[in-house]
Structures are given as C-alpha cells and as structure tokens.
Amino acid sequence: MKVKIKRIDSGLPVPVYETDGAVGFDILARENAVVPVGGITLVPSNLIVSVPDGYMLVVASRSSTPRKKGLSTPHGFGIIDHDYCGPEDEIKIQVYNFTDDDVEIVRGDKIAQGVFVRIDKFELEEVAGAEDGSGDFREGSRGGFGSTDS
C-alpha cells in the first residue's frame, strides 16, 4: 500500500523502513531545538502524512532515545488520525527531558518512529451498569488501577 506524504523541507530525506523486518519508520527533527530540564518541547517532524482510511499512524519513541538523549514521550505515544493531513498539519513530536541538563536536538536527528495500525470503529451502547444482569460484564470486579500486580 502506498501512503502519500509531504515533506516541509525537501533537504531532509524521505522516511524509510531501515530493515525488511522493521514495523516503524524513523521520524526526523526538521529543526534544531533545546529541551529544557523537566520541560516538554514540540519538535517539528517535517512530515504531513495522508493516513489511509481504516488506519491510524502511531508516533512513538524510538527505543534508543531515552538512553541516548534522555528524552521520552510524555503521553506514551501519539495518535495521528486519518483526517489530520491539511497543509498546516505537520506532525509534531512531544518530547520530555527527564535529565538534569538541557538536551539539544539537531536538525535531522531521529526523534521518533511511525507505525501504521489498522483500526476498527465500534458503535458504543450505554447500559444501566455492570450489575444489570445482561451478562455482558463480569460478575465481580477485578480490582482497581494496576490491580494485577498487587
């Protein structure tokens, strides 16, 4: 399947899958940035992506970025909807600096990875509650947040 992209700066390369087994393509920083200690910065990715209907684009941290740069994505990962592809819809990468020093990002640095994921949409149906006897919910509660590792 082909996906249309637009680079803001044609001086940076088109994203590629680095190996035959790679599921994500590297996303590069379009410009230099400094992420202050404990700060969050939006880094332009140089990409506008026309995500196909029935898919979303997940933007996630590269596994080496926290170790090499001291940066992580503060929200876990970003979701790019298929209708976010207008002329001003450049993908921006949120990065959080968890180190004790400012972190410099240089134009062309690999700062994230993109992964296309097939999605389905569901019709949500509200019911009275889990105890309504409909059989759609479990009888007992599993517990609270993070309850499987009590």
In angstroms, the CA 53 to CA 127 distance is 30
Model pLDDT for residues 124-137, shown as the tens digit of each residue = 988 776 665 555 66
**In this predicted structure, what is the pLDDT of residue 104?**
97
Asked if pLDDT for residue 55 goes beyond 80, the answer is: yes
- Over range 48-72, report the average pLDDT: 92
- Both tokens assigned to 99: 């180190």
- Over range 95-120, report the average pLDDT: 96
Asked if pLDDT for residue 149 goes beyond 70, the answer is: no
Residue, of 41 and 138, whose pLDDT is higher: 41
* Residue 102: CB atoms within 10 Å: 12
Q: Per-residue confidence at 64, pLDDT binned at 50, 70, 90?
A: confident
Any bridge partners for residue 44, and if so which? 92
**In this predicted structure, what is the pLDDT of residue 142?**
62
Q: What is the mean pLDDT of the chain?
A: 89
Asked if pLDDT for residue 147 goes beyond 60, the answer is: no
**In this predicted structure, what is the pLDDT of residue 125?**
87
Question: Are the CB atoms for 78 and 94 separated by under 8 Å?
Answer: yes
Measure CA of the first residue to CA of the last residue in the chain; give whole Å: 44
Any bridge partners for residue 40, and if so which? 96
Looking at 29-38, 96-105, 136-145, which range is the least confident one?
A: 136-145
**In this predicted structure, what is the pLDDT of residue 36?**
98
Q: Which of 75, 78, 72 is nearest to 97 (CA)?
A: 72
**In this predicted structure, what is the pLDDT of residue 65?**
85
Domains of the chain: 4-122 (2.70.40.10)
